[in-house]
Structure 1
Amino acid sequence: MASSASNATTTAGPQSPGVVDESVAKKVALAALVGTALEWYDFFLFTTAAALVFNAQYFVSQDPFVSAMSSFATLAVGFVARPIGGFIFGALGDKVGRKKILMVTIVGIGLVTGLIGLLPNYMTIGVAAPILLVALRILQGLAVGGEWSGAVIIAVENAPVAKRARYAALPQLGSPIGTILSSGGFFGMLYLVGQSNFDAWGWRIPFIAAIPLLAISMWIRSKLSESPEFEALMESGETEHAPIRGVLTKSWRQILVGMCSALLGIGGFYLITSFVVFYGTKVLKMPYETLLLGSLLAAVVEIFALIWAGRMGEKFGASKVILWGGVASAVIAVPVFLAIDTANPVLVILAMIVGVTTLSIPYAVSGTALTALFATKVRYTGVAITSNSAGVISGFVPLIATALVAANGNSFWPGAIILLVVSVMTALSGIFLPALSIEEKGMKH
């Protein structure tokens, strides 16, 4: 299907320069994966801690719902910061290169996460504690705003056109790997030191561990090759001098549809993980370990789901996979929350696995879909703005779900309805994506 008129205005510049070396493509995709794994490790640490300990450590209140909502509001603040980071790092990535910006963002994410692990609590420094936590969360959100988009772009632009869905799915594996590391870190600390010590200080160890992980990620990422498409732009002098203005004025349709396509993979995930951890521990009175184990097992299964869905995107096109994944998630939305509400450990864990696996189907190909919406010279900016705008909405999902649950007598229905609505929005985006995407020979939309 042909590109839309609005998109055609931003398609100048080389779209398929030269012959891509697939061995290089593999190395670049794996290097991008290492960085996104650290990104999501750091981010998932915060979301899990927001549900488990931040409400008591930094937002002291006699009402657990008030503390939880304050904690989730801090989570949401980071998502609000992400589009700002997307504007800044996206524009820089389109001007100076993908590789340079990816080094900056990964350092920002790792350092801030380590500092959170060292931050004194409310009982130690009073109101300064939550203020500093919010400030660190904002800095983390700014860095994350430029990280995922750059990682998936450099993987796609170094990959053969016909296999972009496969290589774009590799950085997505950073999500379950980060979950495994973060949930495993929390689960391990709970097992080693017990819940009282975990609540007091044990939760800090996985945060501080981000520092040595950052050093490893920096070394691996330093081996990245710059995108051949961006290098061709630099050589021809065709880089975009005002990428933000170009994207916002000429590609607003792509941004809106792209946001919907990414919504389930981001917002749905935080609903099934962060919100369900809170709902299970505070409303259903289930032990921390059960919910963390559910997150851990769901992440393991998600790895295989992402690889499979990436191959399906290569075979059938990303838009079809997004459509199918959205429909599947809508179908299981209510059954998943019905199972969670039983408080049966086996059913709760199975529900978390099914929920995360299903929403991972569209998430696997979201990198392919979003990069296809924008021309090379504005791609970093376009993808960053689109994905992070979806992230803003997603960041409020746990907060909204918690507020609605409290207002409806601790009923699970708000969570189920939110998942259903988000799933339908993502499914509908799959219908509109092909008409808005840039045509490239060998690429299925």
Structure 2
Amino acid sequence: MTAPHQASPAGATRKLPPGALKAYIASLTGTSLEYYDFAIYSVASALVFPKIFFPNSDEFVGLLLSFSTFAVGYLARPIGGIVFGRLGDRIGRKNVLVITLLLIGIATVLIGALPDYSVLGVAAPTILVLLRLAQGIGVGGEWGGAVLLSSEFGTASKRGFWSSAAQIGPPAGNLMANGVLAVLAATLSNADFLAWGWRVAFLASAVLVVFGLLIRLKLEETPVFKAIKAHGEAPKAPLREVFTKEPRALVSAALSRICPDVLYSLFTVFMAVYATRELGMTTGNVLGAILIGSAFQLALIPAAGALTDRFNRRLVYGIAAVGTAVYIPLFFLMVQGRSVLLLTVGVVIGLAFHAFMYGPQASYITEQFPARLRYAGSSLAYTLAGVVGGAIAPLVFTALYAATGNWYVIAAYLLVSSLVTIVGLAIGRDPHTDEEERLLQDARA
């Protein structure tokens, strides 16, 4: 069996695989645009929607209802993973990625144009949930394809780096989203921001989606998928094969995602509530801290992915999970002094821990499955984990804090999440590049 992380022969010339750079940029750009859409919803669900779509509710009840619509996007992801994961292993990566981009973009623009509760009454939050459902289905099918797009054009032994392209999307999209919202919040009065300002960020995604669509339409199918089709190895029932032949891989990949998801929700969603309501900071303070943390992630995520190409991937991932459990109590102690500087530093460090799990996450999840089942298996693991990770995290944070009034239970929640991820890593496998290298050599022959 070929050893994991094979080294190139001494003195060998390292050439960039054909199409790899273009695919990396396309994967990064596409997920950045789509997570821009998703991120503006995340922020709006904490700061805007409770007031304009659930105005007649108690303060915490309105927040819980708003976070419920946020959770719908995660709950819908498995639908996207099932539908598009199957298509991705049967008809290829490119066509699926075009469909998911359009689905998310159209839904986001429509949210920006949706009249609020004062105009439509109960129909307004109902339509909001349906549009959020469409967003979630699109994202559920997007991630697996974006990861495979960059990694299958790249070198299998460097999958940690090549796969990180899709992982840069969330912080890049989050950076753009929070930047736009921060500018709007700073230049508009609270009344104007709530009345129409927040809509600008949603409507602006139309331009971004058109740009992303032009890039994806020019892409070719990945070399690995071409080789799979040429060999007649494309599965007829990829979902069934994943459940019947790869159950351990599915469990390992899904559990590995729990801690990164919960951690990200803490710093990019719940902190917007905690810092403004409990620490007395402004919305601009919180959004600024998230912006800076996301900017650092742009470099840390690909660096973390590349690091795991040199060192054991599961070890690096596991160390970051343990570090998360230790750090969260320290973070809450840091911010009790209500210092904006300490909040910013704390968010940057927290998102750095996230980067060292999220950077190698794509490569870790995809390499648990054989190439012919990789879109379906990866999409299922990623989206199913999202339901018990990121989907319920803001709800759990809010409910725990409302019930207890202290942050200890939140730190305990992160501890449990870290332990779950460590279990997933323990039962997973290290990468073996022989299959991928064979397929790529055949495709390029």
The verdict on a shared fold, with TM-score over 0.5 as the criterion, is yes
CA contact (8 A) 1:243 1:378 kept: yes
Q: Percent identity, aligned pairs only?
A: 35
1:199 aligns with 2:185: no
Unpaired segments ≥5 residues, structure 2 = 4-13, 438-445
1:13 is matched with which residue?
none
Q: CA deviation at 1:125?
A: 0.7
CA contact (8 A) 2:109 2:203 kept: yes
1:318 is matched with which residue?
313
Q: CA deviation at 1:440?
A: 2.9
SS at match of 2:235: coil
Q: How does 1:362-401 map to 2 (within 5 A)?
A: 362-393=357-388, 394-401=390-397
Read off the aligned partner of 1:65 and give its amino acid letter: F
Q: CA deviation at 1:281?
A: 1.7
Q: CA deviation at 1:20?
A: 9.1
Q: CA deviation at 1:197?
A: 1.1
Q: CA deviation at 1:401?
A: 0.9
Distance 1:294 1:419 in 2: 20
Deviations along 1:141-188, one digit per CA (max 9) or x if unpaired, are 011100011100121111111211111112211111101100001001
CA contact (8 A) 1:328 1:358 kept: yes
Unpaired segments ≥5 residues, structure 1 = 4-18
Q: What TM-score do the two structures reach when normalised by structure 1?
A: 0.92
Q: CA deviation at 1:441?
A: 7.4
Distance 1:116 1:356 in 2: 28
1:39 aligns with 2:34: yes
Distance 2:192 2:74 in 1: 30
Q: CA deviation at 1:313?
A: 1.0
1:220 is matched with which residue?
215
CA contact (8 A) 2:242 2:377 kept: yes
2:78 is matched with which residue?
83
SS at match of 2:192: helix
Q: How does 1:240-279 map to 2 (within 5 A)?
A: 240-279=235-274
1:406 aligns with 2:402: yes
1:119 aligns with 2:125: no
Distance 1:137 1:442 in 2: 36
CA contact (8 A) 2:157 2:309 kept: yes
Read off the aligned partner of 1:401 and give its amino acid letter: F
CA contact (8 A) 1:375 1:438 kept: no
Per mean C-alpha deviation after superposition, the further-off stretch among 228-237 and 421-430 is: 421-430
Distance 1:318 1:153 in 2: 18
CA contact (8 A) 1:159 1:167 kept: yes
1:180 is matched with which residue?
175
Read off the aligned partner of 1:205 and give its amino acid letter: V
Read off the aligned partner of 2:297 and give its amino acid letter: E
Q: CA deviation at 1:60?
A: 1.8
Read off the aligned partner of 1:440 and give its amino acid letter: D
Q: CA deviation at 1:190?
A: 1.0
Q: CA deviation at 1:38?
A: 1.0
SS at match of 1:241: coil
Distance 1:110 1:341 in 2: 39
Q: CA deviation at 1:29?
A: 1.1
SS at match of 2:19: helix
Seen in structure 2, the aligned counterparts of structure 1 residues 20 and 90 have a Cα distance that, compared at 3 Å, is farther
1:58 is matched with which residue?
53
2:7 is matched with which residue?
none
Distance 1:163 1:183 in 2: 32
Read off the aligned partner of 1:291 and give its amino acid letter: V
2:441 is matched with which residue?
none
Distance 1:81 1:28 in 2: 27
Distance 1:220 1:399 in 2: 36
Read off the aligned partner of 2:257 and give its amino acid letter: A
Read off the aligned partner of 1:406 and give its amino acid letter: A
CA contact (8 A) 1:373 1:438 kept: no
Deviations along 1:48-96, one digit per CA (max 9) or x if unpaired, are 0000000011112352110000001111111111001100000001110
SS at match of 2:221: coil
Seen in structure 2, the aligned counterparts of structure 1 residues 242 and 438 have a Cα distance that, compared at 3 Å, is farther
CA contact (8 A) 1:98 1:226 kept: yes
Per mean C-alpha deviation after superposition, the further-off stretch among 109-118 and 255-264 is: 255-264
Distance 1:169 1:61 in 2: 43
1:440 is matched with which residue?
434
Distance 1:58 1:110 in 2: 21
Q: CA deviation at 1:21?
A: 5.6
Q: CA deviation at 1:138?
A: 0.5
Q: CA deviation at 1:404?
A: 0.8
Per mean C-alpha deviation after superposition, the further-off stretch among 350-359 and 134-143 is: 350-359
Deviations along 1:389-436, one digit per CA (max 9) or x if unpaired, are 11111210010110010000x21222222222212322333333226x
Distance 1:120 1:414 in 2: 37
Distance 1:267 1:127 in 2: 30
1:420 aligns with 2:415: yes
Distance 2:115 2:367 in 1: 45
Per mean C-alpha deviation after superposition, the further-off stretch among 230-239 and 204-213 is: 230-239
1:211 aligns with 2:197: no
Distance 2:64 2:17 in 1: 47
CA contact (8 A) 1:337 1:415 kept: no
Read off the aligned partner of 2:397 and give its amino acid letter: A
Per mean C-alpha deviation after superposition, the further-off stretch among 205-214 and 369-378 is: 369-378
Q: CA deviation at 1:330?
A: 1.5
Q: CA deviation at 1:264?
A: 2.2
1:7 is matched with which residue?
none
Read off the aligned partner of 1:396 and give its amino acid letter: I
Count of aligned positions: 426
Read off the aligned partner of 1:328 and give its amino acid letter: G
Q: Alignment RMSD, CA only?
A: 1.9
Seen in structure 2, the aligned counterparts of structure 1 residues 442 and 102 have a Cα distance that, compared at 3 Å, is closer
SS at match of 2:280: coil
Match of 1:340 among 328, 335, 345: 335
Distance 1:318 1:190 in 2: 41
Deviations along 1:250-277, one digit per CA (max 9) or x if unpaired, are 2121111111212222221011110111
Match of 2:291 among 268, 284, 296: 296
CA contact (8 A) 1:341 1:412 kept: no
Q: CA deviation at 1:26?
A: 1.3
Q: CA deviation at 1:223?
A: 2.3
Distance 1:203 1:144 in 2: 22
CA contact (8 A) 2:248 2:427 kept: no
